[in-house]
């Protein structure tokens, strides 16, 4: 019978924990504020609440004597939150870099089934068909706002490690690109001149690769090119080097073909007309997507992998941290068992004891979470990294430690604190007073 | 060894505490096992031993530029070169764009150069006789349920055939298994005849993606690499020759600094772990002050008390750690299988086990050190008097 009771009690606790976690995950920050305010009011205005407050104060005042074991909780949780937030920041940063490059107003056309610009190729005639299609915005002279582009990949040495080459994308763009991609600004030097072997480099590429400053020369496809400017766009385009389509095509012997065509649409609604016209045209076989969808799809895979890795690693570490917290808090209530039993003997009820132990644990957890998230924010916010992207070349991106991520980290910390505190708290309140008083 | 039961009894003196600590240790080493597998998956190409006598020759300026097929005979004439093979990137996908297939059009002598690709003799013969024949790695075949004799269409993201169609028909004539020591991912490849590729594709003619050069002596790699690059210096197809290991390593590097990421996570994990177990050990020894004093009273030397506490720490780490690594060994293949080929993790190897056990012993000794010193220096009279 006793064993049965124990079993059902354990089961009940598990249900409480599971219910709490489910609720906690779905809770927005407003909900947490309401809970915190409610708790504070309870502690000020009710008898039980005031009892809780005094028990908590006693617990906190002895914290200094248990600094070693308490720091286990703090640092353990700081580690979990740090790793989690860092991985999610990487994932968010990568996804933001790619997604901000796309929008609804522009569409990109590739040869059918190519998936990435690097694989695609379209001859001059097909390119003209695309540019003349309905839905493309015309400028004052009646020319379509469209950029036929070429993407090639070059080997350049990385910064800090001149012996290791990495792939950098070089994009040949036509004149219309400045109206088409209006997020691009020249930050140093000037634009390249059509027909010359001149390049402008993205801020990201300049940070990641050696020798891409204004005025420097580099060898591409056996020819010498000059860097004449630096541009910023705040997205994936910053990882690239840009030159004139014709110059790049002749250097890489591409003739008059292009690889992709990006067009400015009359309006986001015009996309359907544009797409329908191209898909039904028997002369060409192309894939038409808005740039928003195109870049969104490119970020999907890696973003998902990073998120999953971050959450799996975080979860395993969290299990370790929960057990660490349990250990510490069991030890803490064991050390205070006589004191707690005395309180209960003079009339304090179970609830204040439970709540005070949990508050103490969650406070430690909160400190740990804040430390972990804070360290990651200080080190990694804006940290620049790069990886291989869809065009088989480096995509430079920045870690993005957003307030939402910091909040996620704190939520994890509090959840760990909750579980780590619950079991010791319940034990403290359930040990028969007589047993506890006799202990030690 | 004869004190094992004493150490064991001390370890499980407080069952719940030991259990909680063990789970933390288990979690840490589970992570260690999995992350080490990830690290190996991304770096194994860089230090696999089977390819030490091979050079990879690519275009100097860009991985996407191809080289003329005519270079082969000139490279073969360089002293120190045993054979020259070549391959082209095909960029194949099977049915759906999500199903990427690592596919190469390879020269006829490719299989002789990559001895780690073990193909049964009859299948090898069938491959040589079938123009559209292809051989696939065992795990790739398993992924899509391909069998010998199947006719499958593979779509190239890059190369259309002469009729403009990008779907290429292939006959699966062989399924190979990679030999021990082959680079991770070798059994994910799809290989077919370069001649078929060259004849049937609409664009390129007589060009190859990269050359593979087998050396007569691996020690001459640098000299031969320089000689090959000199052949095409100042032409429109300058080359870059490097060892296969360096080539693979530079690829892994471009994906990102996996080693650094894994290293930092492990650093955070182990730092926390040391703190946590050190705290447990300190508690455990503090509680047992009396018992340790009794042990010393009945004649245990200070040194054996020290050894006992130290081995308690090591034992704690070993139990938790080995369980954790064993769990990782079970989980890693499940994750590999579950990811549908996206993530190819090698099984937990001897290297990981050795590194893990060394870590367990070192951490165990580290966390046991302070309490053990305390136990050794214990003054019997003071301890028994509770001072």
CB A407 within 8 A of CB A414: no
Residues 6+ apart with CB under 8 A from A251: A197, A220, A221, A223
CB B97 within 8 A of CB B225: no
Question: Given an 8 Å threshold on Cβ–Cβ distance, is A320 in contact with B91?
Answer: no
Residue for token pair 């579950």: B338
Residues of A in contact with B269 (CB under 8 A): 79, 83, 317, 320
**Nearest chain B alpha carbon to A219:** B61
Residues of A in contact with B20 (CB under 8 A): 323-324, 326-327, 330
Please give the interface size between A and B, counted as residue pairs whose CB atoms are below 8 Å apart. Answer: 134
pLDDT at A370: 96
3-class DSSP state of A193: coil
Which residue, A99, A94, A96, is CA-closest to A297?
A99
Asked if residue A53 has pLDDT above 70, the reply is: yes
Residues of A in contact with B157 (CB under 8 A): 113-116, 119
Which residue, A400, A425, A223, A414, is CA-closest to A336?
A425
pLDDT at A67: 83
Q: Write the residue in A118, A285, A387 that is nearest to B255 by C-beta.
A: A387
Q: Where are the alpha helices (DSSP H) in A100-172?
A: 124-131
Question: Given an 8 Å threshold on Cβ–Cβ distance, is B280 in contact with A327?
Answer: yes
Residue A20: both structure tokens together: 């709490």
**Nearest chain A alpha carbon to B240:** A155
pLDDT in tens, A233-244: 989 999 999 999
CA distance A386 to B45: 20
Q: Write the residue in A68, A119, A327 that is nearest to B91 by C-beta.
A: A119
3-state secondary structure chain B: CCCHHHHHHHHCCCHHHHHHHHHHHHHHHHHHHHHHHHHHHHHHHHHCCCCCCEEEEEECCCCCCCEECCHHHHHHCCCCEEEEEEEEECCEECCCCCCEEEEEEECCCHHHHCCCEECCHHHHHHHHHCCCEEEEEHHHHHHHCCCCCCEEEEEECCCCECCCCCEEEEEEEEEEEECCCCCCCHHHEEEEEHHHHHHHECCCCCEECEEEEEECCHHHHHHHHHHHHHHCCCCCCCEEEEEHHHHHHHHHHHHCCHHHHHHHHHHHHHHHHHHHHHHHHHHHHHHCHHHHHHHHHCCCCHHHHHHHHHHHHHHHHHHHHHHHHHHHHHHHHHHHHHCCCCCCCCCCCHHHHHHHHHHHHHHHHHHHHHHHHHHHHCCHHHHHHCC
Which residues 113-172 of chain B have a CB within 8 Å of chain A?
Answer: 155, 157-158, 164, 166
Question: Given an 8 Å threshold on Cβ–Cβ distance, is A222 in contact with B61?
Answer: yes
Digitized pLDDT (tens) for each residue of chain B, 387 residues in all: 678 888 888 888 888 888 888 998 999 999 999 888 888 877 765 555 667 788 999 888 777 788 888 888 999 999 999 999 999 988 888 988 878 888 999 999 999 888 888 899 999 999 999 999 999 998 889 888 899 999 999 998 888 888 878 899 999 999 998 887 777 778 889 999 999 999 888 777 888 989 999 999 888 888 899 899 888 887 778 888 888 888 887 777 777 777 788 888 888 888 888 888 888 888 888 888 888 888 888 988 888 888 888 999 999 999 999 999 999 999 988 887 776 555 677 788 888 999 999 999 999 999 988 888 888 888 888 888 876
Say yes or no: B311 contacts chain A, CB-CB below 8 A.
no
Asked if residue A230 has pLDDT above 70, the reply is: yes
User: What DSSP assignment string belongs to A324-391?
Assistant: HHHHHHHHHHHHTHHHHHHHHHTT--HHHHHHHHHHHHHHHHHHHHHHHHHHHHHHHTT-EEEEE-TT
Mean pLDDT of A362-384: 92
Q: Which of A157, A248, A301, A317 would best serve as a mutation to test chain B binding (most B beta carbons within 10 A)? A: A317
CB B318 within 8 A of CB B361: yes
Question: Given an 8 Å threshold on Cβ–Cβ distance, is B250 in contact with A165?
Answer: yes
Question: Given an 8 Å threshold on Cβ–Cβ distance, is A313 in contact with B265?
Answer: yes
Question: Given an 8 Å threshold on Cβ–Cβ distance, is A320 in contact with B27?
Answer: yes
Residues of A in contact with B327 (CB under 8 A): none
pLDDT at A439: 64
CA distance B46 to A348: 66
CB A77 within 8 A of CB A368: yes
Instruction: Please determine, for the modelled complex, whether the ipTM score is greater than 0.85.
Output: no
Confidence category of residue A368, pLDDT binned at 50, 70, 90: very high
Q: Is A203 exposed, middle or buried (0-12, 13-18, 19+ CB in 10 A)?
A: buried
**Nearest chain B alpha carbon to A114:** B157
pLDDT in tens, B327-353: 999 998 888 777 655 567 778 888 899
**Nearest chain A alpha carbon to B249:** A164
Q: Which of B61, B242, B264, B334 would best serve as a mutation to test chain A binding (most A beta carbons within 10 A)? A: B61
Asked if residue A290 has pLDDT above 60, the reply is: yes
Q: Write the residue in A69, A119, A155 that is nearest to B279 by C-beta.
A: A69
Q: Percentage of residues in chain A with pLDDT exceeding 70?
A: 99
């Amino acid at each position: 019978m006793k064993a049965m009771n124990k079993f059902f009690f354990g089961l009940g606790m598990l249900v409480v924990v599971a219910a709490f976690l489910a609720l906690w995950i779905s809770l927005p920050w407003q909900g947490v504020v309401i809970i915190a305010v409610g708790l504070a009011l309870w502690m000020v205005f009710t008898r039980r609440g005031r009892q809780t407050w005094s028990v908590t104060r006693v617990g906190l005042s002895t914290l200094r004597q248990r600094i070693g074991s308490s720091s286990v909780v703090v640092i353990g949780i700081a580690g979990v939150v740090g790793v989690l937030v860092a991985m999610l920041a990487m994932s968010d940063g990568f996804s933001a870099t790619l997604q901000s490059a796309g929008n609804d107003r522009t569409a990109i056309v590739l040869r059918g089934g190519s998936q990435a610009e690097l694989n695609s190729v379209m001859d001059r005639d097909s390119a003209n068909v695309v540019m003349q299609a309905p839905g493309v915005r015309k400028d004052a002279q009646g020319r379509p706002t469209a950029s036929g582009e070429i993407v090639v990949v070059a080997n350049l040495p990385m910064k800090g490690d001149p012996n290791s080459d990495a792939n950098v994308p070089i994009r040949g763009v036509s004149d219309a690109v400045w109206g088409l991609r209006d997020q691009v600004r020249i930050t140093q030097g000037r634009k390249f001149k059509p027909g010359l072997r001149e390049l402008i480099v993205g801020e990201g590429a300049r940070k990641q690769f050696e020798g891409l400053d204004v005025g420097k020369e580099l060898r591409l496809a056996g020819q010498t090119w000059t860097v004449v400017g630096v541009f910023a766009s705040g997205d994936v385009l910053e990882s690239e080097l840009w030159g004139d389509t014709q110059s790049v095509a002749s250097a890489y012997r591409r003739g008059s073909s292009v690889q992709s065509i990006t067009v400015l649409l009359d309006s986001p609604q015009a996309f359907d007309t544009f797409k329908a016209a191209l898909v039904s045209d028997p002369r060409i076989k192309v894939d038409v997507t808005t740039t928003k969808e195109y870049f969104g799809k490119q970020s999907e895979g890696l973003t998902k992998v990073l998120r999953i890795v971050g959450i799996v690693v975080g979860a395993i570490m969290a299990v370790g941290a929960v057990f660490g917290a349990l250990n510490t808090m069991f030890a803490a209530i064991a050390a205070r068992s006589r004191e707690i039993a005395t309180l209960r003997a003079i009339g304090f009820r179970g609830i204040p004891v439970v709540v005070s132990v949990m508050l103490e644990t969650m406070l430690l957890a909160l400190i740990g979470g804040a430390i972990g998230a804070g360290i990651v924010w200080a080190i990694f916010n804006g940290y620049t990294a790069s990886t291989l992207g869809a065009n088989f070349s480096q995509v430079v991106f920045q870690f993005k430690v957003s307030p939402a991520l910091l909040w996620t980290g704190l939520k994890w910390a509090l959840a760990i604190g909750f579980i780590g505190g619950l079991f010791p708290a319940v034990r403290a309140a359930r040990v028969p007073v007589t047993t506890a008083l006799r202990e030690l | 060894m004869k004190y094992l039961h004493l150490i064991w009894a001390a370890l499980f003196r407080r069952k719940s505490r030991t259990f909680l600590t063990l789970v933390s240790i288990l979690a840490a080493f589970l992570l260690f096992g999995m992350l080490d597998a990830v690290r190996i998956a991304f770096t194994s190409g860089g230090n696999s031993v089977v390819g030490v006598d091979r050079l990879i020759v690519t275009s100097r300026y860009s991985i996407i530029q191809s080289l003329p097929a005519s270079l082969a005979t000139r490279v073969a004439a360089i002293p120190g070169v045993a054979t020259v093979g070549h391959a082209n990137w095909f960029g194949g996908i099977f049915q759906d764009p999500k199903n990427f297939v690592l596919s190469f059009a390879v020269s006829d002598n490719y299989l002789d150069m990559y001895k780690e690709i073990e193909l049964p003799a009859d299948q090898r013969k069938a491959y040589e006789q079938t123009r559209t024949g292809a051989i696939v790695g065992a795990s790739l075949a398993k992924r899509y349920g391909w069998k010998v004799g199947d006719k499958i269409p593979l779509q190239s993201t890059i190369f259309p055939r002469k009729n403009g169609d990008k779907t290429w028909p292939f006959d699966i004539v062989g399924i190979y298994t990679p030999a021990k020591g082959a680079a991770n991912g070798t059994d994910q490849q799809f290989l077919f005849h370069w001649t078929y590729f060259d004849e049937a594709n609409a664009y390129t003619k007589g060009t190859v993606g990269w050359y593979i050069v087998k050396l007569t002596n691996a020690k001459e790699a640098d000299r031969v690499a320089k000689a090959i690059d000199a052949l095409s210096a100042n032409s429109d197809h300058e080359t870059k020759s490097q060892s296969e290991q360096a080539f693979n390593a530079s690829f892994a590097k471009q994906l990102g600094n996996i080693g650094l990421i894994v290293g930092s996570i492990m650093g955070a994990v182990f730092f926390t772990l040391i703190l946590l177990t050190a705290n447990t050990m300190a508690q455990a020894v503090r509680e047992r002050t009396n018992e340790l004093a009794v042990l010393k009273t009945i004649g245990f030397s200070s040194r054996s008390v020290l050894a006992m506490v130290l081995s308690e720490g090591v034992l704690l780490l070993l139990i938790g750690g080995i369980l954790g690594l064993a769990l990782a060994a079970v989980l890693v293949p499940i994750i590999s299988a579950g990811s549908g080929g996206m993530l190819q993790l090698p099984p937990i190897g001897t290297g990981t086990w050795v590194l893990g056990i060394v870590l367990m012993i070192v951490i165990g000794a580290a966390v046991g050190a302070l309490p053990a010193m305390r136990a050794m220096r214990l003054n019997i009279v003071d301890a028994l008097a509770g001072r």
